[in-house]
Amino acid sequence: MVKWLQILTVFVCLCGAEALAALPPPHKPVTAPPATAHKPVVPKGAAATAAPAAEPDINKIFRGSFFFSPLEIADIEQALEGHVRKSTGTDTTDAPIPQHRVIQLSGVYYRSPGDWVVWMNGQKVTPANLLPQIVSIHVSPSSRVHLQWYDIGLNQVLALTLRPNQTYDITSGVLLPGAH
């Protein structure tokens, strides 16, 4: 009996509850032992007006998540569609979006794929110390920086390739030579 329940559990996990409903009934119906009816304990003087609790539908398909909240699931679904949000809905700090947003690459020092230094927007960036806007970065031996940058104003991730002394103006979408 236990082996049959284990096989049935694996079948339901792999195929879903719809496939279980399509199976023919078993030869011997399995019934639960009769439950004894328990009367709720009501203190003296209290009115017994509580409605009986509705029994949950155990055959209903579970569409939730054991690991993520509904807000996190919505964020994941938006990210899969290409719309990335930087903060969650529980964040109460609303910082104003700056008008002048640029990505300025001042210099690159490359040793190996895991050992490099990039000076970007006046700050030193290393593999262990990335700017919060950087989603991913790849520095090549030719001093080119392949970058995925999250922009709060556009609310999306930009894919760029920059060389030293180049500036990308996010608001206009123009790649400018030199520091601006």
pTM: 0.48
Domains identified in the chain, total number: 1
1: how many CB neighbours lie within 10 A of its CB? 6
In a domain, 107, yes or no: yes
Residue 154: inside a domain, yes or no?
Answer: yes
| pLDDT tens by residue, 141-151 | 999 999 999 99
Mean pLDDT of the chain: 77
Count Cβ atoms within 10 A of the Cβ of residue 64 and give its class: 0-12 exposed, 13-18 middle, 19 or more buried. exposed
**pLDDT score at 167:** 94
pLDDT score for 165: 94
Residue 88 placed within a domain: no
pLDDT band at 12 (very low <50, low <70, confident <90, very high): low
- Whether the CB-CB separation of 159 and 166 falls below 8 Å is answered with no
Q: If you search the block for the tokens 């991913």, which residue do you land on? A: 136
Structure-model confidence comparison of residues 78 and 87, the more confident one: 78
Average pLDDT over residues 3-21: 61
In a domain, 140, yes or no: yes
Residue 138 in any domain: the answer is yes
Residue 160 within a domain: yes
Domain that holds residue 164: 102-177
Q: Indicate whether 127 belongs to any domain.
A: yes
CB burial readout 17-41, b (16+ within 10 A) else e: eeeeeeeeeeeeeeeeeeeeeeeee
Predicted local distance difference test score (pLDDT) of residue 164:
94
Q: Is residue 36 part of a domain?
A: no
